[in-house]
Structure 1
Amino acid sequence: MTLKYALPVIALVASAAVSAEEYQAFVGLNADHYRASGDSETNWKLDGTYFFDKKVTLGPLDQFEYINKVTNVSASFRREFDTNITRIGGEYFAENGLVVSAAHTRASGDYVNEVGLGYLVSNNFIVRVNAVKPEDESTDFMFSASYNHQLQGNDYVGFTAYADDEFDYFGISSKYFASLGEGRFIAAGITLDDNDGSSDWSAEADYYFSKMTSVGLTYNKADSYSLNAKHFFSQNWAVEARFASNTDDSTLKTYSLGVTGQF
């Protein structure tokens, strides 16, 4: 490669390195206000995740690699329809590719325990099995596999397939992320699943005007939709607003507001 062609490549790599941000801790506070035929309810959620190594952005400040490979711990508290729900969990990624996860969720005295075992076959492929044990109920098993197909630069197409142990519930999801040039990006995804013979689908898309500002929409088989906007006021703090409703029942409305911190 001659110097004439090498210099633009070096400049491009240097630019990407400068624009990428690194984070290890994430916190979020969200409020969802539901309205239906004159009735209303406001739910709250506070959550946080700490990664034991840095997570590198793909351009937008809220977009990271499709398959997480960093050990982490997380906790959340939700107030949903007069019920307090708490959850703690974590994932451990060993050097030999083994992945171990665990979580405990409690709501109104009832609890659910989860234990997972997985294997990182490669940086782009992971398989998992999760055992879910609700209080006083039998254990359910969920199997999944995720694959990341890397495209040019940070662009990728990711796929995840999943099913329970009796194959009563199964599905597949996919996500596409790409740079559109001039600091603009797009992220889009679709999910198809079947629950005991009842099929469902949902789709979502986000357009990034820059790495700090985006708008998005979602739609599903039940004709429910949402519109959202998110903006980072700094490298660490963002505000997000969302409106959701249903095309067949306009009396159902959700107004959401959230604040996110990344450090």
Structure 2
Amino acid sequence: MKFKFAALPLMLASAVVSAEQYNSFTDADYTSEDYGFAEIDTLSFQSQYYFGALETLGPRKEFNYILPVSNIYGGFDYIDYTGGDSDIVQIGGEYFTGQWKFFGELNDFDAGNSYRAGAGFLFTPNFLGEVEATKAEGNDTELWVRGTYNHQLSGSDYIGFTAQVDDDFDYRSVSSKYFTALSGGQYLTAELSLIDTDFSDLYWGGAVEFYFNENTSIGAAYDEAESYEFNATHFFNRNVAGKVAYGSSRDFDDLDVFSLGVTVQL
């Protein structure tokens, strides 16, 4: 019995040490889409910096469903397609003060600019409400109301929900993510999204990801349009990961989508 009590602090210390902390996340990705009659190649670079450390839930790329930490981010996409090319620049940020959240984003692309800005309130640490305005150049401003709720299960397990509706109630969406720690240092996530609009049929999509350990995972996704993807991620050390994915769609027999990327977390 004395041995068990003596070992308990060591076990707790080990659990604390195993959780990694990160402040910045940078991704460089290449994606090739071959439709048979046309090709699209995209090079993208995205980076985000948090002013407070984020703690992992076990896997190095899994964190809490709600992250109330101020951050800034930016990115650049270069798109080369059959007959031309284009680029997109994105900058944005989120600021948390007390229970309030304020955020904004600018996207600059060849056809013009788009903006989004809004405010949110953390009613509880597990429930965030937000109001957002979006404006694309040449279009009217749209208003959105969004709610995010995290239901904490045992340990680090959770199931999260996000619901969103526009000011005309002609666009409605809900998404959910489930995270659970399995035995033997393995983990599983499952995601589901539903989008219902007045202009199209109900859209649904889902994805699962299985973690062999904190470093390596494989995943698959499928949606209502009969598009699918298989992907894998591996961390070579605590900071650098490689990603690879392949996808296609039954609606486009000749479609092949291949992506390769690197993530750096510091």
Query: Secondary structure at 1:13's aligned position in 2?
Result: helix
Indicate the residue corresponding to 1:182 in structure 2: 184
Gaps spanning 5+ residues in structure 1: where?
none
User: Which of 149, 161, 164 lines up with 1:147 in the alignment?
Assistant: 149
If the length of structure 2 is used for normalisation, what is the TM-score?
0.94
| Cα distance in 2, alignment partners of residues 121 and 6 from structure 1 | 39
Shift of 1:83: 1.3
Indicate the residue corresponding to 2:214 in structure 1: 211
- Superposed counterparts of 1:69-148, under 5 Å: 69-80=68-79, 81=81, 82-95=85-98, 97-108=99-110, 110-148=112-150
> AA paired with 1:104?
L
Matched, 1:236 2:239: yes
| Cα distance in 2, alignment partners of residues 117 and 3 from structure 1 | 53
RMSD of Structure 2 on Structure 1 (CA) = 1.6
- 1:157-199 Cα offsets, whole Å, 9 max, x none, are 0001111111111111000001002110001100011122521
Fraction of identical pairs, as percent: 36
- 1:46-87 Cα offsets, whole Å, 9 max, x none, are 010000010000000000000011000000101134111001
Query: Secondary structure at 1:210's aligned position in 2?
Result: coil
Q: 1:3 to 1:111 in 2, by over 3 A?
A: farther
- 1:199-225 Cα offsets, whole Å, 9 max, x none, are 100000100001000000000001000
Deviates more, 1:8-17 or 1:27-36: 8-17
Matched, 1:13 2:12: yes
Indicate the residue corresponding to 1:24 in structure 2: 23
Q: 1:86 to 1:194 in 2, by over 3 A?
A: same
- How many pairs are equivalent? 261
